[in-house]
Amino acid sequence: MFQKVGDAEFVRGEHEVLKLWDQQAIFAKLRQKIAGKQPWSFLDGPITANNPMGVHHAWGRTYKDTFQRYWAMNGRDLRHQNGFDCQGLWVEVEVEKQLGLGAKSQIEAYGIDKFVHTCKQRVLKYAAIQTEQSIRLGYWMEWDDPQQLRKLAAAIGTDETVEFSPPKLPETVIRDTAEAIVAKLGNPDWGGSYFTFSTENNETIWTFLKKCFERGKVYRGHDVMPWSGRGGSAYSQMEVADGRKLTVHRSCFVRFPLVREERQTVVAGQDQEYLLVWTTTPWTLTSNVAAAVNPELEYVKLRSKRDGGIYYFAKDNLDFQRLAKEYKEGFGRPEWMWPAGVPKLKTIGQFFKEIGGYEIEGTLKGAEMIGWQYLGPFDDLPAQTIAGGVPCDPQLEQKNGVSCHRVIDGGRDFKGSANVVAGEGTGIVHIAPGCGDVDHQLGKAAELVGIAPLGEDGRFIEGFGEFTGREATDPATIDLVLTRLKERQLLVADEKYPHIYPFCWRTGDELVFRLVDEWFINMDWREEIMQVTDQIRWLPDSIQGGEREREWLTNMRDWMISKKRFWGLALPIWVNPEDPTDFDVMGSLAELKTRAVEGWAEFEGHTPHKPWIDLVKIRSEKTGAVLSRVPDVGNPWLDAGIVSFSTLGFNTHPDYWRKWYPADLVTECFPGQFRNWFYSLLSMGTMMNWDRTEDPVEKRPFKTLLGHRLVMNEAGKPMHKSDGTAIWFEEAAEQIGVDTMRWMYLAQNPSLDLRFGTRHPDQPVTLETVKGPTNLTIDGVATHRVTSTPADETRRMVMIPLWNSYAFFVNYARLDEFDPTAPQVPVANRPEIDRWLLSNLQALISGMRTAMEDYNSSEAARLAATFIDDLSSWYIRRNRRRFWRSKDANDQDKLAAYQSLHTVLVTLTKLLAPMVPFLAERMYQNLVRSHESSHENGHENGHESGQAAGTGNPAEVPESVHLCDYPTPDLALLDLDLNESMSAAQTVVALGHKLRDDADRRVRQPLPELRISTSSLLQREAIERLSDLIREELNVKQVTVCDSLADIVKYVYKANLKTLGPKYGKLLNLLREKLPGVDGRLMEPLRAGQSVRVTLDGHEIELEPADVQVGTEQATGWVCTDDRGIQLALSTELTPELLREGMARDFIRRVQQLRKDASLEIESRIRIAYQTDEPLVAEMLIEWGELIRGETLADQIESMGSISTAMEEVVVGEAKVHISIEIV
RNA sequence: GGGCGUAUAGCUCAGUUGGCUAGAGCGCAGCUCUGAUAAAGCUGAGGUCCGUGGUUCGAAUCCACGUACGCCCA
């Protein structure tokens, strides 16, 4: 027996389904069902286990779950492995906050071992939280028990023995220290989520780096990198992009005196020549080494009238309006408007005018200036005269900073654009190879010494006089520089200069450019990676992912893999402290053990992390020296990029790896990932396989990538944690409902931002969760109201109509005691509309399969929504009466209706199960499981498509919809002609409603006749076939299909430009204008499918039916319209009989509304009382009383002499009537 | 500065190899249907298809230039 169905209560239903899955261990049964089948390999991109999930995480996780469920229902084996990203600065940042540590030195004082333990604990804590949240989302993965993860977290850093049962071996109890267990989480034998801090993950990166080393790609490099003083670390190219801000610097114009001959004394004043240079970072002038020009640019020789000094700079810059556009329009983002309080910038010409005017004495090419020597502004600093520069380059020991001061060619970048251009500056660029990226490269090319002024803390090192110890970015430092320049009469002007500048994404501090030595992978094998990239399908097409990835690969620099921090991959590079060129890379812990000369015993028993791994020393095979590990940790994208090897057991379970590599699908939020995760996966896949195969197809780590954009608030703006607008996962889940959210994500075009909803930080709310009411999130944040228009729309358009269709079926099936196991009425004997519904269902099944296999969930959602709409507002609405006819065991038509609808609903639950797993489960449990399973086989046989069809297998009906097979289309039931016909009929009905609207005739008022004419035979047949339906639907007494509506309608013939254009070309305009004016009688054969010949302005034109489009215009006594070749005319004539019938239907409708208002049961019988002064009403009741009583289940209709208080005034036809009802 | 992309109704977006009177959803107004559903359906108002030029019988669509915005890279 079906259970009675009431309001949907989606969220409460989800809670019940979660309990059901849990109690009956449905997921475990699914794992059993698919074990050993053909694999479908999904690779999860690790989620950072550092914070709770927000709604933005749920989008990708919905894709991941949906496609995995889909393939599981198709009988494919899956690994169901989630991943957590565990190592890196982002965890350190939070742990620093948690422990109140502000600088690297404080961490060292606290103890790196304790710090690293806390990092591990934090990761385990948030892994547990994210696991619980994911389960709430319905994300089916082989999860670790969150309580076990918490237990492990608590025991980290202690010697106590912890008991642990892995997800794959629930009966087994592992006893070991927390550290030892945690190091092995997620291995193929244990199952459960993978953690990138696991020893296998770290060790597989060692394998990768070893391969790089063997190919000679690992090197230690000096480079000028963005550096954070407080963070004590360089930032990679990938990270800097995320931290740019608009800021105001004090920039200055400085003059460098030229020296034309040796030992020339420089005296400010008449005829002294200067290079005019400009910089936004005055502190770098301390480390100036050279000045660069563009040889092709024209420079001007300007004499200042004040002291007769001569200045050189780019001619175009004299009157160049600097930042003129930015002054008006800002810097490219709404929040980057010109800062208040910063005046408009002056031109260089203006500066000279303000100090007494100038004269132009001539121009010259930059090429002529190359080689000129000058005096630097801070040549008195010791660093400027140290041989070989700072740090000393042994190759350049005969030079120092001062001796390098000359004008050089600024050169071109790798794209061929000049490094020095006219514009913002002066066309002469101050070069400090120790303080700038381009400067560094130019310096190397020109064999200049470098002067690197800053230490790891971002302060000046020894050798910089009064600057030593000062912070480069401190405004007081800038002031000091400017003061000294002024004293030396070198400062021409200074100003406030706004620009976009990199900041540290974690401390918010300004970054400086600092010469660092870091470890790099030489990426000169980028071509190999591109070939792999080309073998991958990048979805969605519209974002051109393959091209984006190629672009990154083309332009990227060498990969900086080191970071001077504490928590992360221990880079397996051991180096000679005396000689940086003497280094070796370890490919595994086993190799390290055989090479170790000290420290192994102390290290053993710990994970390969700092500080323990640093104890191990090895001996150089080259020099015999003792090598120490570089103190750095690794770039975290190494951790995430290796997972297609580490989690598949590349080193430890090679058969397993071969079975599951490459992944069929990866899916991730794409902004940023082309240079991050996708990049590291691709490059690591390429390198790991380089010695195995030449074929890029075999190297690729994944076959298809599905990217999606970002989740925004409803206004399309980013949501921020800081201002309370970021929506936490459970807030959305418990207020909006998880199925609804999932549908929103799946229906969204992945190439566009999803405007999810709005969080109201001023409206606290109590959430009803599975565990009871709460007003805090899992992480202790107060919960607030979340509104979402797209969610409301999804519920209104999809979820509620589906639920109501289901409720309609169940509630009538209960009343009627419908037995789903009764023998099936043969489909051929069912009414046309049932066959249409079943045919449409087959079209839906194949459409959804195609869409899902193409990872196009938005198409799948669209198809399903259209079907649900057809089901609810067409099939059920049209067929209601078949369900509520009186009980009659032999009513085959009624049985057919129940069977058709039941089949459709059951199939729908399976089709939708991957998308809305909760709702599908609830419906399935009632539609299928509420009956004894032994009966189900009979029902599932016959015309029902799906796994049970025709098998006669006495096995039980699956316990859960998620243990069913995904439906396959039954082509015997697919009737495309019928689908077309119904679509034509639906068009006719829509047009008919429009006509009624035009004529101001409500649908309850019957009208005498509808005439239809079509241009195609197919449509004509379709309409004839479905004319009864059209008649009922439009409430007309007669539907007539005619050859012509000529007697009531005037036809209009228009040229079909698409077919006539190619035939007649220039004559087309004539045709378009004249054709509608041709005598209609000449054109009539066209509507019968024959060609005609007409003469227009002397041109003989042959017209085929396809060349002409027939429309209708103006009618007499009728209203008419046309669309898609169908013409309709509706008679609006009303007879007294028709009027009375219309009133009767009004009367019925009003009574039904009263029944509903009184919440009567469907089967309750009533008595109707009415009062009216209109005699027409009484006449109508005599004629139609029996129908009214039947329709409204009324035993009697009584006329009352007066109006009672229970009565409501209603309008019937044009008459006012007072009506009341009461239960008999 | 370079590369890629986008520009269509108040908002969010479709619009096929060039074809008629440019569409949908939301919002707004009106009407209608309802014995499952205050769910929905229909109708209407609302458009410089970013601008200018070109190709063509014909351009939202193709081409060129410009403008604005987005993303990526410098």
Best CA proximity match to A342, nearest among A423, A247, A481: A247
Name the helix (H) or strand (E) containing A597: strand A596-598
Burial A264-279 (b: 16+ CB within 10 A, else e): eeeeeeeebbbbbbbb
For CA atoms A766, A770, A772, A778, the dihedral sign is: negative
What secondary structure does DSSP assign to A849-891, as a single string?
A: HHHHHTT-HHHHHHHHHHHHHHIIIIIIHHHHHHHSSPP-TT-
User: pLDDT class for A207, splitting at 50, 70, 90?
Assistant: very high
Q: Rounded distance, CA A368 to CA A370, Å?
A: 6
Residue A943 banded pLDDT, cuts 50, 70, 90: very low
Q: What is the pLDDT of residues A849-874, one digit of tens each?
A: 998 998 988 888 888 888 888 888 88
Q: What is the DSSP letter of A342?
A: P
- Please report the DSSP string for A1080-1095 in residue order: HHHHGGGGGT--EEEE
What letter does residue A459 receive in the DSSP assignment? B
Integer Cα distance of A1110 and A1112 in angstroms = 7
* 3-class state of residue A674 by DSSP: coil
Per residue, what are the HEC states of A506-528? Answer: CCCCECEEEEEEEEEECCCCHHH
Average pLDDT over residues A97-114: 88
Average pLDDT over residues A521-541: 91
Alpha-carbon distances, residue A194 vs A153, A187, A567, A569, A643 (angstroms): 16, 7, 18, 15, 9
Which residues of chain A (299-338) touch nucleic strand B at CB < 7 A?
329, 332-334
pLDDT at A820 (0 to 100): 87
Which nucleotide lies nearest residue A1060, CA to C1'? B19
Q: For A41-61, what is the mean pLDDT?
A: 92
Is residue A1002 predicted with pLDDT exceeding 90? no
- Specify the nucleotide whose C1' lies closest to residue A329 (CA): B68
The 3-state DSSP class for residue A788 equals: coil
In this model, does residue A1054 exceed pLDDT 80?
no
The reply to whether A1021 Cβ lies less than 7 angstroms from strand B is no
Structure-block tokens of residue A363: 């121009």
How high is the pLDDT of residue A926? 93
Confidence of residue A947 (pLDDT cuts 50, 70, 90): very low
Nearest nucleotide, C1' to the C-alpha of A557?
B73
- Cβ contact A551:A600 at 8 Å: no
What's the rounded mean pLDDT across residues A488-513?
A: 83
Does the pLDDT value for residue A223 go beyond 80? no
- A41 dihedral zone (left: phi>0; alpha: psi -120 to 50; beta): beta
User: How is residue A1125 annotated by DSSP?
Assistant: T
Identify the DSSP state of A4: P
Confidence of residue A135 (pLDDT cuts 50, 70, 90): very high
Beta carbons within 8 Å of A1182's beta carbon, 6+ residues apart = none
H-type alpha helices, A556-632 = 589-595, 600-603
Of A40, A44, A43, A47, nearest to A69 by C-alpha is: A40
Helix (H) or strand (E) holding A1074: helix A1068-1074
- State mean pLDDT over A65-91: 95
Chain A 854-873 contacts with nucleic strand B (CB below 7 A)? 869, 872-873
Phi and psi at residue A304, to the nearest 5°: -85, 135
Q: Which carries the bigger pLDDT value, residue A184 or residue A832?
A: A184
Residue A27 and residue A21 in contact, taking contact as beta carbons nearer than 8 Å: yes
As a whole number of Å, the end-to-end CA separation of chain A is 29
User: What's the whole-number average pLDDT of chain A?
Assistant: 87
List, in sequence order, every residue forming a beta bridge with A503; answer none if it has no partner: A510
Q: Is the pLDDT of residue A323 over 90?
A: no
A413 touches strand B (CB under 7 A): yes
pLDDT tens profile A636-694? 999 999 999 999 999 999 999 999 999 999 999 887 788 899 999 999 999 999 999 99
Structural contact between residues A1084 and A1013, judged by C-beta atoms closer than 8 angstroms: no
Query: Tokens representing A266?
Result: 């420089």
- The number of beta carbons lying within 10 Å of the beta carbon of residue A551 is 13
Sign of dihedral through CA atoms A165, A167, A169, A171?
positive
pLDDT score for A951: 33
Reported confidence tier of residue A335, pLDDT bands at 50, 70, 90 = low
Measure the CA–CA gap between A1090 and A1105, rounded to whole angstroms. 6
Tokens at residue A618, please?
Answer: 């090895």
Instruction: Judge if the beta carbon of A1200 is closer than 7 A to nucleic acid strand B.
Output: no
**Any idea which nucleotide's C1' is nearest the CA of A994?**
B42
Q: Which residues pair with A459 in a beta bridge?
A: A471
Beta-bridge mates of residue A1218: A1171, A1209
Q: What angle do CA A1181, A1187, A1189 make, to 5 degrees?
A: 80
Chain A, 236-295: which CBs lie within 7 Å of strand B? 237-238, 241
Specify the amino acid at residue A680: S
Q: Which of residues 424-463 of A touch strand B (CB under 7 A)?
A: 437-438
Cα distances from A515 to residues A283, A868, A927, A1131, A1207, in angstroms, run 15, 64, 70, 88, 90
Nearest-angstrom CA–CA distance, A243 and A513: 14
Nucleotide nearest to A993 (CA to C1'): B42
Assess whether pLDDT exceeds 60 at residue A705: yes
Mean pLDDT of A292-303: 90
* Better-scored residue on pLDDT, A735 or A1109: A735
CA distance A369 to A275: 10
User: What is the mean pLDDT of the segment spanning A827-842?
Assistant: 90
Do you know the residue count of chain A?
1224
A1161 CA: nearest nucleotide by C1'? B35
Report the pLDDT averaged over residues A725-745: 91
Q: Which residues 712-741 on A are within 7 A of strand B at the CB atom? A: 716
Protein-to-nucleotide distance from the CA of A78 to the C1' of B13, whole angstroms: 36
The greatest distance separating any two alpha carbons of chain A, rounded to the nearest whole angstrom, comes to 127
Lowest mean pLDDT among A62-66, A629-633, A1034-1038, A1047-1051: A1047-1051
Host H or E run for residue A314 = strand A310-314
Distance of CA A185 to the CA centre of its chain: 29
CB A797 under 7 Å to nucleic chain B: yes
Find the mean pLDDT for residues A362-385. Answer: 93
The amino acid at residue A382 is P
CA of A664 to C1' of B8 (A): 38
Task: Quote the strand ranges of A765-919, DSSP E.
Answer: 767-769, 772-774, 784-787
The Å distance, CA of A658 to C1' of B24, is: 47
What pLDDT, in 10s, does the model give residues A875-900?
888 888 788 766 666 778 889 999 99
Chain B positions with a protein C-beta closer than 7 Å: 1-5, 12-14, 19-21, 25-26, 30-37, 39-43, 57-58, 68-74
Q: Which of A565, A643, A630, A507 is nearest to A88 (CA)?
A: A565
Which nt has its C1' nearest the CA of A1192? B35
Contacts (Cβ under 8 Å, ≥6 apart) of A646? A194, A198, A200, A201, A203, A204, A205
Residue A575 has a CB neighbour count (10 Å cut-off) of 22
Q: What angle do CA A921, A927, A931 make, to 5 degrees?
A: 115
Estimate in Å the CA A628 to C1' B51 gap, whole number. Answer: 66
Section A1058-1069 average pLDDT:
77
Q: Which of residues 996-1015 of A touch strand B (CB under 7 A)?
A: 997, 1002-1005
Name the residues in A589-608 having a C-beta closer than 7 Å to nucleic acid strand B: none
CA distances from A495 to A248, A253, A420, A428, A432 (A): 10, 9, 22, 18, 21
Q: What is the pLDDT of residue A329?
A: 63
Residue recorded with tokens 């080193």: A651
The letter for the amino acid at A678 is F
Separation between the CA of A1140 and the C1’ of B13 (whole angstroms):
48
Q: What's the CA–C1' distance between A237 and B64, in Å?
A: 37
Nearest residue, CA→C1' of B38 = A796
**A1028 CA – B41 C1', rounded, Å:** 20
Query: Distance (Å) from CA A543 to C1' B8?
Result: 20
Convert the pLDDT of each residue in A748-786 to its tens digit: 888 888 888 888 888 899 999 999 999 998 888 899 999
CB within 8 Å of A97: residues ≥ 6 apart = none
Can you tell me which residue has its alpha carbon closest to the C1' of nucleotide B57?
A1066
Per-residue pLDDT, averaged over A972-999, amounts to 80
Pull the structure tokens for residue A919.
Answer: 């709702």
**Model confidence band, residue A333 (pLDDT cutoffs 50, 70, 90):** low
pLDDT score of A1115: 55
Using an 8 Å Cβ cutoff, are A311 and A302 in contact?
yes
pLDDT digits (tens, 9 = 90+) for A593-603: 999 999 999 99
Q: What is the mean pLDDT of residues A326-350?
A: 75
Instruction: Round and report the angstrom distance from CA (A716) to C1' (B12).
Output: 10
Q: CA A818 – C1' B61 distance (Å)? A: 56
Confidence of residue A240 (pLDDT cuts 50, 70, 90): low
Residue A935's pLDDT band, with cuts at 50, 70 and 90, is very low
Shortest CA to C1' contact from A1190: nucleotide: B35
What percent of chain A is modeled with pLDDT above 90? 46
**A128 closest CA partner among A148, A156, A157, A142:** A148
Provide the CA A534 to C1' B62 distance, Å, integer.
29
% chain A with pLDDT above 70: 94
Nucleotide nearest to A413 (CA to C1'): B74
Res. A918 pLDDT band, cuts 50 70 90: very high
Per-residue pLDDT at A1124: 64
Spanning CA of A106 to C1' of B8, the rounded length in angstroms is 59
- Say if the ipTM goes beyond 0.90: no
Higher pLDDT, A383 or A410: A383
φ, ψ dihedrals at A593, nearest 5°: -60, -45
Give, for A683, the enclosing helix (H) or strand (E): helix A677-688
Q: How far is the CA of A409 from the C1' of B63 (A)?
A: 40
pLDDT at A263: 67
* C-alpha to C-alpha distance for A1039 and A319, rounded to whole angstroms: 82
Q: Which of A289, A247, A670 is nearest to A496 (CA)?
A: A247
Confidence at A65, pLDDT banded by 50, 70, 90: very high
Nearest nucleotide, CA A547 to C1': B4
Q: Which nucleotide lies nearest residue A543, CA to C1'?
A: B5
Q: How far apart are CA A863 and CA A848, in angstroms?
A: 7
Q: What does the alpha-carbon distance between residue A925 and residue A919 come to, in Å, rounded to a whole number?
A: 10
Q: CA–CA separation, A607 vs A600, rounded Å?
A: 12
Chain A 647-676 residues in 7 Å CB range of strand B: 671-672, 674-675
| Residue A1068: CB less than 7 A from any atom in strand B | yes
Distance A860 CA to B56 C1' (A): 40
* Chain A span 1075-1104 residues with beta carbon within 7 Å of strand B: none
Place of tokens 């309608």: A1049
Residue A1125 contacts strand B, CB under 7 A = no
**Residue A938, pLDDT above cutoff 50:** no
Residue A1069 beta carbon within 7 A of nucleic strand B: yes
**What's the number of CA atoms in the CB half-sphere (13 Å) around residue A773?**
2
Q: Tell me the per-residue pLDDT of A1008-1021, one tens digit each, with 9 for 90 and over.
A: 888 888 767 777 88
Q: Using the structure, give the distance in angstroms from the CA atom of A991 to the C1' atom of B2, rounded to a whole number.
A: 55
Cα–Cα distance between A891 and A888 in angstroms, integer? 5
Q: Shortest CA–C1' contact from A242: which nucleotide?
A: B72
What is the rounded CA–CA span in Å between residue A346 and residue A368?
28
Closest CA to A1033 of A1173, A822, A1187, A877: A877
* Strand B proximal residues, A:1038-1067, Cβ < 7 Å: 1054-1058, 1061-1062, 1065-1066
Q: What are phi and psi of A912, to 5 degrees?
A: -95, -10
Q: What confidence tier does A380 reach under pLDDT thresholds 50, 70, 90?
A: very high
User: Is residue A348 classed exposed, middle or buried when 0-12, 13-18 and 19+ CB atoms within 10 A define those classes?
Assistant: buried
